[in-house]
Amino acid sequence: MSLITIEPRIKRGGIIRDRVAITSNYAAAYAAKDVEVDVVAAYPITPQTPAVEKVAEFIANGELSAEYIPVESEHSALSALIGASAAGARTFTATSSQGLFYMFELLYIASGLRLPIVMALATRAASAPICIHGDYQDLAAVRDSGGWIVMIASSAQEVYDSIIMAYRIAEDSRVLLPVMVSYDGFLMSHTTEPVELYDLDAIRRFAPKKIDRPILDSRRPITMGVMAVPDWYYEIKYQVIDAMHNSMGVIKEVHDEFNKTFGRNYRLIEEYRIDDADYVVITYGGIWGNTKRAVDIARKNGIKAGALKLRLFRPFPTDDLVRIVEGVRAIAVIDRAVSQEHQ
């Protein structure tokens, strides 16, 4: 996990309001506060718990004017956010592992109703045996769950930035899909790193609250979640698929504007020493720093190695990936999820 210097951006327009030492969990909480979410609902589960505890603290201290709903389960957490988002609220939650599995049926409802909910996922191994440490089995299990955009961060700074971008992407009228921002349980969720917090006015100009979609409103009644016969069911599901395809262009636009506004360099796929590489390692998440170090060691030993980090996981950036690796001799993929398919 690389550290990012602050000085050049301080000199350009004062876009940075503070530099703090926080974990990725806290980075998620700060992002939720800075985009002024309206409703938060969550249930504690290791290693996610500190993220929503921090949001609750912000609300209790008056730093965030939002409704915090302490629910009895993750299923209820996402249920509450579905209702709140359907009524036009900007919503946030966070979870891990079995908590995400408990939300599973609601994932399809959130995307099928085209609700721009944002969720932080501190990835964790799936029981049994019980393990509270990082593994991406939870994300792998829901990767095709009916229309959630998925971004994977590799630093606390990227968690903060990605959640800010997630609202801009999710609420775009060309998308209107929920977004999941994932990061390594414990390796990132509980590791302290320097994070630059942006000027609040700049954040809110970048991701302004807007309602550009149908919502539940007694003054203009509509029905949501109706019964659909097969003809209409597949038409509606295809609209979700179409929105997912359309989101690729929107995500690129949002990345470009974010990079220009906040002095970053986010892309769908991050490249490292790739220009003349014969051998390429593809991975994602907090292992990215280790991967770059391994490439440097290989280069010192005369091996033309390079690396790619998948930042966007759904929709999968297939065309970009194929273009980048065209002509290389071999590719190694480091997947972070234990699976029988990999035996």
**Average pLDDT score over residue span 126-138:** 92
Instruction: Give CA–CA dist 259/265, Å, rounded.
Output: 5
Instruction: Give CA–CA dist 64/22, Å, rounded.
Output: 18
**Average pLDDT score over residue span 271-277:** 97
Q: Which of 92-96, 134-138, 193-197 is predicted least confidently? A: 134-138
- Backbone region of residue 104 per phi and psi (left: phi > 0; alpha: psi in -120 to 50; beta: other values): alpha
Residues 82 and 109: beta-carbon distance below 8 Å: yes
> Same domain for 14 and 132?
yes
Q: Is 30 within a domain?
A: yes
Return the closest-CA partner of residue 91 out of 201, 166, 159, 150: 166
**Average pLDDT score over residue span 59-81:** 97
pTM, two decimal places = 0.94
Condensed to tens digits (0 to 9), the pLDDT of residues 38-50 reads 999 999 999 999 9
> Same domain for 199 and 287?
no
Please provide the average confidence, as pLDDT, over all residues in the chain: 93
What residues are paired with 282 via a beta bridge? 308, 333
Residues 200 and 17: beta-carbon distance below 8 Å: yes
Task: Please tell me what DSSP assigns to residue 131.
Answer: -
Query: Is the confidence at residue 54, as pLDDT, over 70?
Result: yes
> Same domain for 286 and 170?
no
Confidence bin at 124 (pLDDT 50/70/90): very high
CA distances from 157 to 6, 37, 119, 200 (A): 12, 19, 17, 16
- CA angle at residue 243 from 241 to 244, to 5 degrees? 65
**Average pLDDT score over residue span 275-296:** 97
Condensed to tens digits (0 to 9), the pLDDT of residues 2-16 reads 434 344 444 444 699
> Same domain for 205 and 99?
yes
Amino acid at 227: M
Residues 106 and 79: beta-carbon distance below 8 Å: yes
Residue at which a domain ends, from 262, 282, 302: 262
| Predicted pLDDT at 287 | 95
Q: Under 8 Å CB-to-CB from 203, ≥6 apart: which residues?
A: 34, 35, 164
Q: Is 2 within a domain?
A: no
Specify the DSSP element, H or E, that contains 181.
strand 179-184
> Same domain for 53 and 153?
yes
Helix, strand, coil tally for the chain in percent (to 5): 40, 20, 40
| Predicted pLDDT at 340 | 62
Query: Is the confidence at residue 126, as pLDDT, over 50?
Result: yes
CA of residue 126 relative to chain centroid, distance: 20
Condensed to tens digits (0 to 9), the pLDDT of residues 174-195 reads 999 999 999 999 999 999 999 9
Q: Residue 285: CA atoms inside 13 Å, Cβ hemisphere, count?
A: 24
Number of domains in the chain: 2
For residue 300, give the CATH number of its domain: 3.40.50.920
What residues are paired with 151 via a beta bridge? 181, 312
For residue 115, give the CATH number of its domain: 3.40.50.970
CA distances from 33 to 77, 154, 271 (A): 18, 21, 31
The range of the structural domain enclosing residue 337 comes to 270-342
Residues 188 and 8: beta-carbon distance below 8 Å: no
- Higher pLDDT among residues 148 and 4, named by residue: 148
| Predicted pLDDT at 8 | 40
**Average pLDDT score over residue span 51-55:** 98
Confidence bin at 144 (pLDDT 50/70/90): confident
**Average pLDDT score over residue span 296-323:** 97
Q: What is the CA radius of gyration of the chain?
A: 20
| Predicted pLDDT at 115 | 98
Per-residue b or e along 262-277, where b marks 16 or more CB atoms closer than 10 Å to that residue's CB: bbbebbbbbebbbeeb
- Higher pLDDT among residues 180 and 212, named by residue: 180
The neighbour count for residue 211, using CB atoms within 10 Å, is 13
> Same domain for 207 and 332?
no
Query: Is the confidence at residue 270, as pLDDT, over 50?
Result: yes
Residue at which a domain ends, from 262, 280, 306: 262
| Predicted pLDDT at 145 | 79
Q: Is 303 within a domain?
A: yes
Instruction: Give CA–CA dist 335/120, Å, rounded.
Output: 20
